A and B are shown apart, each in its own frame.
Chain A
C-alpha cells in the first residue's frame, strides 16, 4: 500500500490537512517542534485506513474530532496491492455517527459503505489489519523502545500465534468434548441402569409364545373335537330317528310282506343301528355296551329266518332252471338224463317225423290216383263195350278201336287196378293217420311249453309277492326237493313270518328294543352335550389365558424393544464416547505436535530474523553490532563485534538500542510483506532517530531507502532534518498552524479561490 493523498478536516489538531500528489517512492520527511502535529499526520492516516488511531480506540473515534468542532472528515488515497488506486473517506460527528465509504479512484460511486465493511475491504486490499499495521509498518514513538511489543509481533509473524490459536482451539475442543463425554458417560450409565432394570430373560418370550401356540392349538383341537361331537350328535339324532322310523315301518309288516321287503327292513335296521353305534362310540362318551344290542339281535333273528328261506329259493331256482330247459331256455341241468329231450326238441322231432311220413305218403297217393283212374277207365270201357255197345262211345270203342277182342284183358286190368287202388288207398289212410298223430303230439308239447312258461313267469314274479303267496305258489310245484325245503321252512323258522299270531309275537320285542335304544341314545346325547358345554367352558378359560398371554407377550415385546433401544443407545453412547475420546486424544496429540512445531518454527524465524537483521544492523551501527538472537522467552540479545559475544539490550547505549529496535522493525516489516504478499508498502517511522547523533541520523536516512525493494514509501517523523537532500518530500509542521497543505500550489489555488 502506497499513500497517494490525504485530505482531512477538523481532525485532531488540524482544521485542514491536504496532501496531494505524494511521491510513491522515497522518504517523506515530517519535521517540526513538539506538539506541532507531526505524529498527528500518521494518526490521520491510521484513522482513515482503519477507523481508529494509535491514541484512541475504535469506540472513541469522536475524540479525534478537533476541539470545538462538531464533525470531522478524512479522505486518503492509496495504491493497493491489486495495482488499483482507491479513495477511502470517513466522516464522523460528536453524536457518534460514523460514515465510511470506499471507492476506486476515478469512480464517482463507492463500492463499499459502512465502517465494518470498509474495514474488511481495506484489510483485503492491503493484506493486513490495524494491529498488524501498527506492529509492522507503523513504528510509533511510544513503542519503539518496547521490545516486547515488537517481539509479540515477531511471534505472530512467525506463525506461533497461529499455532497457539490452533492449540487453543484444540484445548477448547478438548474442553467441549470432555463436557460432552461427561454427559455421554452419564447417559451411558443411565442406559445401562435401565437395561439392567429390565432384567430381560432370553427364553421368556419364546416360552410365552410357545405357551400361546400351545393354547391356540388347544383351542383349535377342542373346537375341532366339539365340531366332531356336534356332528356325532347330529348323526346320532338322525340315526336314532331313522331307527324309530324303520322300527315303525317294520312293525307295520304283515302276511302280505314279501321276502325282499323283510330283507329291506332287516337291512335298514342294520344300517340304522350301525349309524347309531358309530355315532355313540367315542372315547369321551365312554365305550359301554352297545345301545342297539336288542335291535341288532332282533335284526339278526329276522335275518336268520329270512336266510332259512334260501334253500327254498335255491330249490325253486333249480326247479325253475329245469322248467326253463324243458322249454328250450338255458343249459341242460346236470341232474337231467342226457337222453331226455326238451319239449321243443321233442316237438321238432315229431314235426320232423310227420314231414317224413308225409313224404312217404306221396308215392302211394300218386299210385292210388293212377290205379284209380285206370280202374275207372277200364271199367268204363268194359261197360260201354258190354252194356252200351250201341252207344257212340261203345261203337267207337268196339268198332273203332277194336277193343272187343281185348275184353278179357280189359277185365283183368280193371280188376287188378281196382285191387291196387284199394291197397294204395289203405296205405294213404294209414300214413295220413300217422301224420295227424305226430301233429297232435306236437300241439300238446306246445301247450305244455306254454304252461311251463306261465309257471316260469309266476316263479319269476314270486319276489314281488308276499312271502305267504310265494310259499303257496312254490308249494304247488311238482318238485320233491323244493317241497322238502319248503316243508322245512314252513315248519321251522318261517312260521313267525307265515302265521299272523306268530308274526305279532315276533314283532313285539322290536318296539321294546327301539325304546331302549332311544333312551340310551338320549343318554348319550345328553352326555355329548355336557361334554360340548364342558369344552366350551374350558375354551373360555383358555381364551382368557390366551388374552393374558397376548398381553404378556406384548409387554415382553415392549420390554425387548425398549431393551433393543437401550442397547442401540448404549452402543451409540459407546461409539460417541469412543469417538470423543479419540477426538480428545487426537487433539492432545495435535497440541503436542504443535508444541514441538512451535519451537521449531521460532527457531527458523529467529534464524531468518538474524539473517535479515544482520543485513541492516551493521549498516545502522557502523559495524559495531552485527546480528541478534531471540530466545524462546523472547529475550533479545545482540552480537557485539567488539566484545565478540552476544550482549543484552540493557548492556548497550540508548542510541544503539533504538538502532537495534529499528533494525528489528525493518525486518518485521519485511516479514509482514512476505507473509501477506502485500506488494509495495509504505513505512511510517515516528521519531526513529531519538538519541541518534547527526551522523548516525544522516547515515540511517541514506540507508533506509535501500532496506527493501518492497518498502518504496517511507514516512519519517523527526524533530528536524539537518540534511533534506535525501528526502522525496519534506513536510514542515508548525505549532501555530492548523492547516497543512502540500504542495504549495494547492494552497495558492485554494487561496486564490
Chain B
C-alpha cells in the first residue's frame, strides 16, 4: 500500500474560466487536414497516363496486358489496405 511518504506533487490545472477556455478552443488549428492521396487512385492515374503514353508510342502496344497489371495491383492494394 502506498504511504504518505510516496506521495508526489500532483497538480491538476484546468482553466476555471470558461470564457478563456472557449477563446482557446476557437483558435484555428495549424493543421486542418493532412491530405493523403488514395493509393489506388494515385496508381490508377499514373497507370492510365502510362498506358496512354505507351499506346501512342507503340501501335503494337498490348493494352489489355497493362490493364490486367493495373487490376492486379489494385486487387493487391485492396488486400493490403485491409491489414491494420
Given contacts A589-B65, A728-B13, A747-B2, contact A159 B35 (CB under 8 A): no
**How far, in Å, is B39 (CB) from chain A's closest CB?**
4
Q: Is the CB of B81 within 8 A of A730?
A: no
Q: How far is the CA of A675 from the CA of B24 in the complex (A)?
A: 27
Picked from A165, A600, A667, A732, the residue with its CB within 8 Å of the CB of B46 is A600
Q: Is the CB of A707 within 8 A of B39?
A: no
Q: Is the CB of A162 within 8 A of B81?
A: yes
Q: How far is the CA of A8 from the CA of B54 in the complex (A)?
A: 62
**How far, in Å, is B30 (CB) from chain A's closest CB?**
5
Q: Is the CB of B36 within 8 A of A675?
A: yes
Which residues between 700 and 753 of chain A lie within 8 Å of chain B, taking CB atoms? Answer: 703, 705-709, 724-725, 727-734, 737-744, 747, 750-751
Known A673-B34, A725-B13; further 16 A-B contacts with Cβ < 8 A: A23-B12, A124-B84, A586-B68, A590-B70, A590-B73, A600-B46, A601-B42, A671-B34, A671-B36, A706-B28, A709-B29, A709-B32, A730-B13, A740-B8, A742-B10, A751-B2
Q: Is the CB of B73 within 8 A of A159?
A: no
**Residues of chain A with a CB closer than 8 A to B29's CB:** 706-709
Please list 14 pairs of residues, one from A and one from B, whose beta carbons are closer than 8 Å in the complex, sorted by A's number. Answer: A129-B84, A593-B73, A597-B47, A608-B34, A667-B34, A671-B36, A674-B35, A674-B36, A707-B29, A730-B10, A732-B9, A737-B5, A737-B8, A740-B10
A604 at the interface (CB under 8 A from B): yes
Q: Identify which of A129, A590, A612, A731 gathers the most chain B CB atoms within 10 Å of its CB.
A: A590
Q: Is the CB of B6 within 8 A of A739?
A: yes
**Residues of chain A with a CB closer than 8 A to B7's CB:** 737, 739, 741, 744, 747
Picked from A590, A675, A727, A734, the residue with its CB within 8 Å of the CB of B8 is A734
Q: How far is the CA of A600 from the CA of B24 in the complex (A)?
A: 39
Q: How far is the CA of A727 from the CA of B14 in the complex (A)?
A: 7
Given contacts A594-B43, A708-B30, contact A166 B80 (CB under 8 A): yes
Which residues between 17 and 76 of chain B lie within 8 Å of chain A, taking CB atoms? Answer: 24, 27-37, 39, 42-43, 46-47, 50, 65-66, 68-70, 72-73, 76
Which residues between 134 and 158 of chain A lie within 8 Å of chain B, taking CB atoms? Answer: 157-158
Q: Identify which of A128, A157, A596 gathers the most chain B CB atoms within 10 Å of its CB.
A: A596
**Residues of chain B with a CB closer than 8 A to A601's CB:** 37, 39, 42
Picked from A157, A589, A743, the residue with its CB within 8 Å of the CB of B66 is A589
Q: How far is the CA of A64 from the CA of B65 in the complex (A)?
A: 54
**How far, in Å, is B75 (CB) from chain A's closest CB?**
9
Q: How many A-B residue pairs have CB under 8 A?
A: 163
The 9 nearest A-B residue pairs measured at CB = A739-B6, A589-B69, A739-B2, A123-B84, A670-B34, A590-B69, A159-B39, A597-B46, A674-B34
Q: How far is the CA of A725 from the CA of B35 in the complex (A)?
A: 33
Q: Is the CB of B76 within 8 A of A166?
A: yes
**Residues of chain A with a CB closer than 8 A to B39's CB:** 159, 162-163, 601
**How far, in Å, is B45 (CB) from chain A's closest CB?**
8
Q: How far is the CA of A707 from the CA of B31 in the complex (A)?
A: 6
Q: Please count how many residues in chain A sit with their CB below 8 Å of the partner chain's CB atoms.
A: 73
Q: Is the CB of B31 within 8 A of A616?
A: yes
**Residues of chain B with a CB closer than 8 A to A744's CB:** 7, 10
Which residues between 573 and 627 of chain A lie within 8 Å of chain B, taking CB atoms? Answer: 582, 585-587, 589-590, 593-594, 596-597, 600-601, 604-605, 608, 611-612, 615-616, 619
Q: Is the CB of B31 within 8 A of A593?
A: no
Q: Is the CB of A732 within 8 A of B33?
A: no
**Residues of chain A with a CB closer than 8 A to B65's CB:** 582, 585-586, 589
Q: Is the CB of A706 within 8 A of B2?
A: no
**Residues of chain A with a CB closer than 8 A to B70's CB:** 590, 593
**Residues of chain B with a CB closer than 8 A to A166's CB:** 73, 76-77, 80
**Residues of chain B with a CB closer than 8 A to A750's CB:** 1-2
A16 at the interface (CB under 8 A from B): yes
**Residues of chain A with a CB closer than 8 A to B46's CB:** 593, 596-597, 600
Q: Please count how many residues in chain B sit with their CB below 8 Å of the partner chain's CB atoms.
A: 44
Picked from B31, B72, B80, B84, the residue with its CB within 8 Å of the CB of A590 is B72
Q: Is the CB of A593 within 8 A of B47?
A: yes
**How far, in Å, is A730 (CB) from chain B's closest CB?**
5
Q: Is the CB of A743 within 8 A of B69?
A: no
Picked from A165, A619, A738, A741, the residue with its CB within 8 Å of the CB of B30 is A619
Q: How far is the CA of A571 from the CA of B11 in the complex (A)?
A: 81
A169 at the interface (CB under 8 A from B): yes
Q: How far is the CA of A751 from the CA of B2 in the complex (A)?
A: 7
**How far, in Å, is A15 (CB) from chain B's closest CB?**
8
Closest residue of chain A to B24 (Cβ to Cβ) is A705
Q: Is the CB of B37 within 8 A of A741?
A: no
**How far, in Å, is A486 (CB) from chain B's closest CB?**
120
A127 at the interface (CB under 8 A from B): yes
**Residues of chain B with a CB closer than 8 A to A751's CB:** 2-4
Which residues between 15 and 36 of chain A lie within 8 Å of chain B, taking CB atoms? Answer: 15-16, 23, 26
**How far, in Å, is B38 (CB) from chain A's closest CB?**
9
**Residues of chain A with a CB closer than 8 A to B2's CB:** 15-16, 739, 741, 747, 750-751
A666 at the interface (CB under 8 A from B): yes
**How far, in Å, is A135 (CB) from chain B's closest CB?**
14
**Residues of chain B with a CB closer than 8 A to A730's CB:** 10-13
Q: How far is the CA of A616 from the CA of B29 in the complex (A)?
A: 10
Q: How far is the CA of A511 from the CA of B6 in the complex (A)?
A: 159
**Residues of chain A with a CB closer than 8 A to B13's CB:** 724-725, 727-730
**Residues of chain B with a CB closer than 8 A to A731's CB:** 10
**How far, in Å, is A10 (CB) from chain B's closest CB?**
13
**Residues of chain A with a CB closer than 8 A to B33's CB:** 670, 674
Q: Is the CB of B12 within 8 A of A743?
A: yes
**Residues of chain A with a CB closer than 8 A to B35's CB:** 608, 611, 674
Q: Is the CB of B36 within 8 A of A587?
A: no
Q: Is the CB of A157 within 8 A of B36?
A: yes
Q: How far is the CA of A732 from the CA of B14 in the complex (A)?
A: 16
**Residues of chain A with a CB closer than 8 A to B34's CB:** 608, 612, 667, 670-671, 673-674
Picked from B6, B10, B76, the residue with its CB within 8 Å of the CB of A743 is B10
Q: How far is the CA of A587 from the CA of B68 in the complex (A)?
A: 9
**How far, in Å, is A115 (CB) from chain B's closest CB?**
16
Closest residue of chain A to B30 (Cβ to Cβ) is A615
Q: How far is the CA of A727 from the CA of B13 in the complex (A)?
A: 6
Q: How far is the CA of A611 from the CA of B30 in the complex (A)?
A: 11
**How far, in Å, is B24 (CB) from chain A's closest CB?**
7
Picked from A128, A159, A165, the residue with its CB within 8 Å of the CB of B84 is A128
Q: Identify which of B8, B14, B80 gathers the most chain A CB atoms within 10 Å of its CB.
A: B8
**Residues of chain A with a CB closer than 8 A to B80's CB:** 162, 165-166
Q: Is the CB of B37 within 8 A of A23?
A: no
**How far, in Å, is B46 (CB) from chain A's closest CB?**
4
Q: Is the CB of B42 within 8 A of A600?
A: yes
Q: Is the CB of A708 within 8 A of B31?
A: yes
Q: How far is the CA of A741 from the CA of B30 in the complex (A)?
A: 34
Q: How far is the CA of A582 from the CA of B68 in the complex (A)?
A: 10
Given contacts A604-B42, A707-B31, A741-B2, contact A729 B12 (CB under 8 A): yes
**How far, in Å, is A702 (CB) from chain B's closest CB?**
10
